[in-house]
Structure 1
C-alpha cells in the first residue's frame, strides 16, 4: 500500500547499497533468501509457483502489481541490519511524515471540523513510529493508516496534547506521503 511503500523508501534511504534495479536480480536475491524455493517466493510475491518458474526461465517477466510486489519483498530482506538500525533510530526519535491527504475528524459535540485536504509535515511520536514498523513488517496497511492518523492527530491537530482532547483523526484519500528519519 501507499504508506507501506513510503516506509520501504524510508528504510531504503539508510542503505549503503541500493536495491537491485532489475526484476531478474531481485528475483535471484529472493530465490537465494528462500533457499531456492519457488513456492516460497511465489507466496511472498502473490503469484503462482509456475509463474515464478517462468520468470526464472526467462519465458515471462514480472509486470505491474507482480513487479511491485517483487520489489517490495526484495526490499524487506535487503540489508536487514542497516534497515533495522534505521527503524530503531526512528522508533526512539520519531519519524517525519509529509503528506497531502484528506483528514476527517470525530470529537466532542460542537468541536468537529469538516474533513478537507491538507498538506502536513510533522514528526510522529516515537511510540507511533515503533508501532508503524511492526505493522509494516506484518504487511498491515490498514493499521499503518490508522497509526499515521493517530500520530498526526496527536502531533499536529492536538498540538502534542495541548488542545483538542478527545479528537480522533482519520486519514483518507492520500495524494502523496513521504516518511523519513529526522
Structure 2
C-alpha cells in the first residue's frame, strides 16, 4: 500500500459513524464474520495459525504480539462500515476532495522557464472529477504511480494553473511524497 492509498484509507476511517470493536476477541469475531465464519481464511489474512485465531475468538489469548495486534486492527478498520465509506466516497466524487501534501514539485514549462523540484506544502480542494478518478483507479487496483498522477494532474490544473488562468503549458511533476492527507468533507 502506497502513501496515496494509505491517505485515502485514513480519510475513509474519519467518516465512520460508529467505532470499530476494541477487544481482540470482538475484532477477530468481526473478521471471521466477514469471511463467512472461516477461521482458516482469517488466519491466512493475519499470517497466524488457525489455532491462534480460535484462541483469540474464545478469549483464551487476549493480547497478541504487537505486529499481529496491529494487523488485526488495520484489517478491521479497512472493512468497518463499508456502506458508510462508499457513501462518503460518492459524495466526495460529486463535491470534491481536499488534498494536503508535502512533496517534491517540479515544473516543465516554456523554454528557459523550468524549475527544479523542491519540497512544497500544498493544501488544495480538488474538484469531484479528480476525486472520482482517484476512487475509480484505487478500486480497480491501479499502481501507486497512477494514483500519484491523478493527484498531480489535479493539483496542476487547480493550484498551479489556477483553473487555466495562468501558466499555460505548465507540466507538474509530483514526486518524493513526504506525506499526503485527504479530507472527504
Give the alignment's TM-score, normalised by structure 2. 0.78
Counterpart in the other structure of 2:14: 13
Q: Which runs of 5+ in 1 are unaligned?
A: none
Instruction: Tell me the matched-pair count.
Output: 178
Secondary structure class of the residue paired with 1:115? strand
Q: Deviations over 1:129-167 (max 9, x none)?
A: 012122333443332222211111111111122222333
Q: Check 1:67–1:99 CA distance in 2 against 1; reply closer, same or farther (3 A cut).
A: farther
Q: Distance in 1 between matches of 2:134 and 2:70?
A: 21
The residue number in structure 2 matching 1:54 is 52
Secondary structure of 1:144's aligned partner:
helix
Tell me the residue number matched to 1:133. 135
Equivalents in 2 of 1:125, 1:163: separation in Å?
18
Q: Counterpart of 2:36?
A: 35
State yes or no: 1:107 paired with 2:109: yes
Alignment partner of 1:143 is 2:141 = no
| Cα contact 1:104–1:114 (8 A) shared by 2 | yes
User: Against the structure 1 CA distance between its residues 135 and 53, is the aligned structure 2 distance closer, same or farther, given a 3 Å change threshold?
Assistant: farther
| Unaligned segments of structure 2, at least 5 residues | none
Q: CA RMSD in A?
A: 2.7
Q: How many Å apart are 1:86 and its aligned residue?
A: 0.7
- Compared CA separation, residues 19 and 112, structure 1 to 2 (3 A): farther
Higher-Rg structure is 2
> Structure 1 residues 22 and 158, CA, compared in 2 at 3 Å: closer, same or farther?
farther
Where 2:167 maps in the other structure, the secondary structure is coil
Q: Contact (CA 8 Å) 2:42, 2:53: kept in 1 or not? A: no
CA shift, 1:87, in A, is 0.5
Q: Give the alignment of 1:75-114 within 5 angstroms.
A: 75-114=77-116
Scaled by the length of structure 1, the TM-score of the pair is 0.80
